[in-house]
Amino acid sequence: MATTQTLPQTFGIRCRELRTAKGWSQEVFADNCEIHRSHMGEIERGEVDVSLTTLRKIAKGLEMTAGQILKGII
């Protein structure tokens, strides 16, 4: 039986893909986004729902819009 990913899991995978495409460690990514590294780990593992404020920080850190990050996952 196939398992379905939750939205936080899908978002976390997307963040990880975008981070690794830039060649950043999770620590560098978290610093760029002004988010604690342990919280970024929770986000990438899909363990937490991301607030709009956190989404904005991630988008700013990636130099993308929130819409670009979310495209295709919601």
Say whether pLDDT at 72 is over 90. no
Q: pTM for the whole thing? A: 0.90
CATH fourth-level superfamily of 7-70:
lambda repressor-like DNA-binding domains (1.10.260.40)
pLDDT at residue 50 in the model? 97
> For all residues of the chain together, what is the average pLDDT?
95
For residue 60, count CB atoms less than 10 angstroms from its CB and return exposed for 0-12, middle for 13-18, buried for 19 or more.
middle
Indicate the domain borders of the chain: 7-70
